[in-house]
Chain A
């Protein structure tokens, strides 16, 4: 059974001589752009809204910002099925842990739960996750758990296929000590740039700001995104 399981995806129930086109049996992927920024008092997270199967857009209004707990969110990139399953599992574990402790969980705990699962099943999973949130001990925090299961805390982090196009923008435009509005503006611009260049990112830009008070969600429609060129 193990031998068969490790065969490539083309060896499953479908074969190439059918009327079903190639994209119909590709795995659903959130080939994507996700990012998260810390500021004093919370975090701002953002993602595009495109889910693809091969070159077909299966869902153009996906919500990749998934709540894990009241003040902790995760941004999902990679395989849609894998990330949904891991996020569900961590939500359960974190909820249980929080009830046991009788206090809100730490962002670091959530991030480590993700890391444990992503590292243990690193061969089977295709998941790049950014965990961000606010807790009482350390305020706003962003932890990135890329494919393979590493964990590292960063003040600003980008992920997904569209992230390659905005490393330069991020490095030159991020300044420590930004306010929430500046962070939202930074994220909107970064997402717009990535969505412009990356074919697997697009749709609407979804943003969220998590602070001690709670959660604030924003959607920037495709035609309202900032434009950087006349083309």
Chain B
């Protein structure tokens, strides 16, 4: 069915053939004073914390490509399984694909074993994969979930190191967010208080970091289920775009009008039938 693969099966592992091409292109472009396009990164603020009833994850929604905001409503909290969600910072493509791959693997595992996947399993799979690629996959992930052993929050770094902590922030705005978390975090917080704290942490990241901004997404995972609130809070800096650029006749004033009739003679007339079958 996938005819595009019939020609040749792709070789496994990374293919670095394009590196020499990119270097050559870069040389050409730079000579002509144009810049090569930059990869889209979620320069971001993501945070998570463990509370009494579950895990609360939060993220901003800005994705940047160099100095331009590429996506104002980017979804950084990715679905892994019904009881686990993962926030991703770093290169947008890497976080998307890594979490997608993890989600697929865990679904297959669920079907094979008849069990709900545990958070430690997801973390181990991520660590395996990222370590194998030796930091070439630029994904810093915060994985949170609730399973039969309790509420868990882990961070996985791009080189494959993991940390298991009760509260976390990652991304370019993490210092600002962590300041808020360090100040007000208490173990076994109530859910509403936890949501407010995560919102405040992300807000602090948005205010202090250029690469974070726009809206705030919150994801609450409990034993009862998941509440993915997108957006939890919209940015107050919204622009009013018209989106319709049709102007009514008379918007531009007419100064003079000159009509020149064109005299046309019919030289030849042919009729061609169209088959409308």
Contact = CB atoms under 8 A, between A and B. Distances in A.
A101 interface: no
Interface residues of A, number: 31
B49 to A, nearest CB: 15
B138 A51 contact: no
B135 A12 contact: yes
Interface stretch (A36-44, A56-64, A152-160): A56-64
Interface in B136-163: 136-138, 140, 157-163
Given A13-B91, A81-B157, A84-B160, A59 B165 contact: yes
A140 to B, nearest CB: 29
Contacts, number: 79
Interface residues of B, number: 36
B210 A84 contact: no
Interface in B174-213: 175, 209-211
B157 A56 contact: no
Interface in A75-91: 79-82, 84-85
B131 A12 contact: no
B131 A85 contact: yes
A24 B157 contact: no
Interface stretch (A1-9, A112-120, A181-189): A1-9
Given A17-B66, A19-B210, A20-B172, A80 B157 contact: yes
A139 B137 CA distance: 44
B134 interface: yes
Interface string B108-122: 000000000000000
B135 A27 contact: yes
Majority secondary structure, B binding face: loop
A59 B135 contact: no
A190 interface: no
Given A59-B163, A81-B161, A5 B134 contact: yes
B127 interface: yes
Contact of A13 (B16, B130, B136, B160): B136
B180 to A, nearest CB: 16
B27 interface: no
Interface in A16-47: 17-21, 24-25, 27-28
A96 interface: no
A101 B127 CA distance: 30
A18 B171 CA distance: 12
B26 to A, nearest CB: 11
Contacts of B237: none
Given A21-B172, A81-B130, 16 more contacts: A1-B14, A1-B16, A5-B134, A18-B66, A19-B210, A20-B43, A20-B172, A24-B171, A25-B138, A28-B157, A58-B163, A80-B161, A81-B131, A81-B159, A81-B160, A84-B160
Interface of B: 13-14, 16, 19, 38-39, 41, 43, 64, 66, 90-91, 94, 127, 130-131, 134-138, 140, 157-163, 165, 171-172, 175, 209-211
Interface of A: 1, 4-5, 9, 12-15, 17-21, 24-25, 27-28, 51, 53, 56, 58-59, 61-62, 79-82, 84-85, 124
16 contacts: A4-B19, A5-B134, A12-B138, A13-B138, A18-B66, A19-B172, A19-B209, A19-B211, A27-B159, A28-B157, A56-B175, A58-B163, A59-B163, A81-B127, A81-B130, A81-B161
> 5 tightest CB-CB pairs across the interface, nearest first?
A80-B161, A19-B211, A81-B159, A13-B138, A81-B161
